[in-house]
Amino acid sequence: MAEFGPIIARIPSTAPPFPILSLRLLIPFAFVLLASGCATTSGFQNPKDPFEPFNRSMYKFNDAVDRTVLKPAAKGYTKVMPAGGRNIVNNFFSNLGDVLVTLNDVLQLKFKQAFNDGGRFIINTAFGGLGMADVAAKSGFPKHHEDFGQTLGYWGVKSGPYLVLPFFGPSSVRDAAGLYVDSITGVTTTMKPARTRNQAVVVDAVRVRANLLANEQVLETAGLDPYSFMRDAYLSHRENELYDGHPPRPKYYDEEDDNDVPPPPAPPKPKAAPAPASPAPAASTPDAPAK
């Protein structure tokens, strides 16, 4: 079974250019797909994946890069960095990501959530050692995940075909555009000087990959086509994010469309009472002869 690295999954809490979604967040959707038998096989052409040949090629490329570069680096990172240190690094980058989350909250008119997420950044930066400790969560400010792809979806932009991007993994036409906007507005990718930015990008990628090491077994033992499995889990997760955890109920093949169900017959109209018979006209009398 192929390995599954951060380049094939998206983590919303990560600042660009790796706003990739972790397998940890995809696991619940993976189990749902397994239980319902919804994960497709390569013999079925998913209408949401018209570019499947290209996407499978990119999937193999990303997997090769992961096995050759990212996974070994992640394993070395976990060996030299204790768990407490890794938690500090995760909190730091998550705090930087809250800036982008707050911006997208505002663009989606979620002002109450924007207050929460902006407050998280201020509290953790001021009182959490520049975000190295998540003190905001203990103060009643929960973490949220928003990106520009979700913002486009909020304003009615359809996801478009499924895409596998080189190095970034599962996406769609809409999410790819959102990823570009996030990458030019995120804190990590706009750091100065360039050397600091590059170092932050590398550390971010390695720490994200390290967070996924413990979650690979689910996909490795799934017994399904790994490409289709990851695609279906990603699409389900993104729909769930777009609707803030309350996606519309899917329609199954054996269910009738509401438009196909004939309307109930109209109640019979009451019979009109017969009209009363009009009186017969009076017989006319002949005019009297003139004298």
Region 257-283: mean pLDDT is: 59
pLDDT in tens, 142-200: 999 999 999 999 999 999 999 999 999 999 999 999 999 999 999 998 899 999 999 99
Higher pLDDT, 243 or 277: 243
pLDDT in tens, 16-36: 333 333 333 444 444 444 444
The two tokens of residue 80 are 């030299």
Contacts 24+ apart (CB under 8 A), 111-117: 113/144, 113/146, 116/141, 116/142, 116/144, 117/141, 117/144, 117/146
Cβ(172)–Cβ(162) under 8 Å? yes
Mean pLDDT (the chain, rounded):
80
Phi, psi of 172 (to 5 degrees): -150, 175
DSSP state of 2: -
**Residue 6 in this model has a pLDDT that exceeds 60:** no
Higher pLDDT, 225 or 21: 225
Nearest residue to 203 via CA among 61, 59, 80: 80
Cβ(218)–Cβ(35) under 8 Å? no
Q: d(Cα 91, Cα 15) in Å, to the nearest integer?
A: 11
Pick from 48-57, 258-267, 276-285 the range whose average pLDDT is largest. 48-57
pLDDT in tens, 234-262: 999 999 999 988 888 766 555 555 555 55
pLDDT in tens, 106-142: 999 999 999 999 999 999 999 999 999 999 999 999 9
> Residue 22: which region, alpha, beta or left (left: phi > 0; alpha: psi -120 to 50)?
beta
Chain position carrying tokens 């469309």 = 257
